[in-house]
């Protein structure tokens, strides 16, 4: 299990990290995340020199370059703000994997201090901003995909709590809910056959439950599954959790 630090900083001052995939593919997820944070009382700052969390290099075993990227991120996100990301995977990189990357470094104390400021979006909404429910409406049967990096954190519980609070949402259970979808960042590049097989299995199991959409806190998993579904000619709608929460509020004129 990849667990976050137990004594994280609960600041309502937020430095928002959009992540590479939001920047290049899922801009609306980042935009909706910022709108949600502001709606529920956070003051949001967006450091313009932000780049990557360092996970691609870390997952490839290139700790030297991963450390360079993390050090840049720490310099850009300096201060006492909470660092909030619309990605369980990128958040886990910054609050967990950095400890491994900097294990023998004299910068380990600074890295540990930075890790205490990092939050995934849903985890932050529920456990820092104390959002108990989304006063919104959204008619959909939703299958939830919890990414591997979210397990061990409170993101799955927070995401389920927020979705269940929305009028019209029905959560659909499916076989293999805890299975990996096979993306794994660079894993899908180095081991495409295994990654593809895992993805096909996941898409088939979710499709069999006939949800209206698949929702996750990680755009990477959604992108992977969507691509496989298209190759398999399977109707498969994927939506980031931030988009669902935003649209639910918008449907009731609450945002």
Contact 171, 140 (CB under 8 A): no
How remote is the C-alpha of 24 from its chain's centroid?
A: 15
What tens digit of pLDDT does each residue of 31-45 get?
Answer: 999 999 999 999 999
Contact 181, 222 (CB under 8 A): no
Q: Cα separation of 4 and 117, whole Å?
A: 10
Contact 136, 168 (CB under 8 A): no
User: What token pair was written down for 117?
Assistant: 């400021």
Q: Report the predicted TM-score, pTM, of the whole model to 2 decimal places.
A: 0.96
For residue 74, report the phi and psi dihedrals to the nearest 5 degrees: -65, -35
Task: Tokens 């990477």: give the residue.
Answer: 220
Ordered by where they begin, the domains of the chain are: 13-127 (no CATH), 137-251 (3.40.50)
pLDDT (tens digit, 0 to 9) for every residue of the chain, 255 residues total? 789 999 999 999 999 999 999 999 999 999 999 999 999 999 999 999 999 999 999 999 999 999 999 999 999 999 999 999 999 999 999 999 999 999 999 999 999 999 999 999 999 999 999 999 999 999 999 999 999 999 999 999 999 999 999 999 999 999 999 999 999 888 888 898 999 999 999 999 999 999 999 999 999 999 999 999 999 999 999 999 999 999 999 999 999
What's the chain's average pLDDT?
96
Distances (CA, A) of 90 to 47, 104, 164: 16, 22, 25
């Amino acid at each position: 299990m990849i667990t976050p630090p137990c004594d994280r900083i609960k600041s309502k001052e937020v430095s928002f990290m959009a992540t590479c995939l939001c920047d290049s593919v899922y801009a609306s997820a980042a935009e909706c995340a910022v709108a949600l944070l502001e709606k529920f009382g956070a003051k949001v700052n967006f450091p313009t020199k932000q780049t990557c969390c360092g996970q691609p290099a870390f997952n490839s075993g290139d700790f030297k370059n991963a450390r360079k990227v993390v050090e840049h991120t720490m310099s850009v996100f300096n201060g006492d703000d909470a660092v909030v990301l619309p990605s369980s995977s990128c958040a886990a990189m910054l609050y967990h994997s950095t400890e491994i990357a900097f294990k023998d470094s004299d910068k380990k104390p600074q890295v540990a201090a930075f890790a205490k400021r990092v939050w995934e979006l849903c985890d932050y909404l529920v456990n820092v901003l104390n959002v108990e429910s989304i006063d919104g409406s959204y008619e959909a049967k939703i299958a939830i995909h919890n990414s591997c990096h979210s397990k061990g954190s409170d993101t799955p519980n927070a995401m389920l709590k927020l979705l269940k609070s929305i009028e019209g949402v029905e959560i659909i259970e499916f076989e293999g809910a805890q299975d990996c979808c096979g993306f794994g960042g660079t894993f899908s590049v180095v081991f495409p056959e295994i990654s593809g097989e895992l993805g096909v299995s996941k898409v088939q199991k979710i499709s069999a439950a006939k949800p209206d959409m698949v929702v996750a806190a990680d755009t990477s998993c959604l992108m992977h599954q969507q691509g496989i579904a298209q190759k398999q000619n399977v109707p498969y709608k994927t939506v980031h959790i931030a988009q669902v929460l935003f649209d639910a509020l918008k449907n009731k004129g609450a945002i």
